[in-house]
Amino acid sequence: MSARRLVVTGVHGLPEIRPGDDLATLIANAVRAEGEQLRDGDVLAVAQKIVSKSEGRIVPLADVVPGPRALEMARDSGKDARQLEVVLSESAKVVRWSHGVLISQTRHGFVCANAGVDRSNAGAPDTVILLPVDPDASATRLREAIRAKTGATVSVIVTDTFGRAWREGHMNVAIGIAGLPALKRYVGQFDPEGYELRVTEIAVADEVAAAAELVMGKLDRCPVAIVRGLALTETAETARDYVRPAEKDLFR
């Protein structure tokens, strides 16, 4: 059943996140400072950047020695060879390199620009942030820590901004999921005219991530949002359920 009403609330006031920081405590404190309280059934959308920072997925470019391939790509594109080296090291496969645009398949199976390596909002100059090693495990750990800290059973999604093959622009998607389905499946159900749906699957966690981005923004220092009002059955699905096998991917 679809939600009749959703409320999406941004959580401000978190400090700059450092390796080893207790995200659950920082988030719980920020929620309380906003006059809010986490409730059972809430979905907590958490930006990948703060998860990665807390897990130490930070690389100062001064420590990077670019290899021959990164140097060649830098000569062709004018990009920083050190950052290209980091991207290559985080890539399971380079899907496309053209006109200075690097599309990679990460070890998680995600296909995205620069293997998710990003210099924006890094918290320090000449620094890049990597994706978490296992974003689904990160979401699960944060969910359990939030429950221990607040007593609330929430779902958690770790969000990041990806481009889209069919459309211009970027949007938030879920790269880590704990406590809610990745997909809402309509296959085998019938519409009001009796037509049987054969392929329709709605990317629920991605839709929640996209809604959360509307209050989180990219430059507003609001890395967390609460999405309230969803009525979804908890499943064991993860963000890896979004990974389309290469043989079914018309773009590879």
Q: Encode pLDDT of 33-65 as tens digits.
A: 999 999 999 999 999 999 999 999 999 999 999
Characterize 137-170 residue by residue with b for buried, 16 or more Cβ atoms within 10 angstroms of its Cβ, and e for exposed. Answer: ebbbbbbebbbeebebbbbbbbbbbbeeeeeeee
| Domain identity same for 46 and 147 | yes
What CATH number did the domain enclosing 86 receive?
A: 3.90.1660.10
**Contact assessment for residue 199 and residue 144, using Cβ atoms and an 8 Å cutoff:** no
Q: Which residue has the tokens 């391939």?
A: 69
Dist CA 99 CA 77 (whole Å):
7
Burial of 51 (0-12, 13-18, 19+ CB in 10 A): buried
Per-residue model confidence as pLDDT tens digits over 153-202? 999 999 999 998 889 999 999 999 999 999 987 777 777 887 777 778 88
Is the pLDDT at 1 greater than 60, yes or no? no
Least Cα distance to 132 among 105, 154, 108, 156 occurs for 108
The length of the chain, given as a count of residues: 252
Per-residue model confidence as pLDDT tens digits over 71-84? 999 999 999 999 99
Q: Which residue has the tokens 């670019």?
A: 66
Q: Which residue has the tokens 């959308």?
A: 45
Dist CA 25 CA 17 (whole Å):
12
Q: Return the pLDDT at 192.
A: 83
Instruction: Please state, rounded to an integer, the average pLDDT across all residues of the chain.
Output: 93
Structure tokens at 230: 């969803």
| Higher-pLDDT residue of 234, 53 | 53
Determine if the pTM surpasses 0.85.
yes
Domain that holds residue 161: 7-57+132-244
| Domain identity same for 49 and 173 | yes
Q: Return the pLDDT at 188.
A: 78
Domain tally, the chain = 2
Q: In this structure, how many other beta carbons lie within 10 angstroms of the beta carbon of residue 204? A: 22
Per-residue model confidence as pLDDT tens digits over 95-104? 999 988 999 9
Q: At which of 111, 129, 147 does a domain end?
A: 129
Domain membership of residue 251 (yes or no) is: no
Q: pLDDT band for 2, please (50, 70, 90 cuts).
A: low
**Residue percentage of the chain with pLDDT more than 90:** 77
What is the pLDDT averaged over residues 10-15?
Answer: 96
| Domain identity same for 155 and 232 | yes
| Domain identity same for 142 and 87 | no
Least confident of 192-196, 205-209, 245-249: 192-196
Q: Which amino acid is at 35?
A: G
Structure tokens at 22: 């207790």
Backbone angles phi, psi at 141, to 5 degrees: -60, -45
| Domain identity same for 81 and 173 | no
| Domain identity same for 139 and 171 | yes
What is the pLDDT averaged over residues 206-232?
Answer: 93
Q: At which of 87, 109, 129 does a domain end?
A: 129
| Domain identity same for 49 and 66 | no
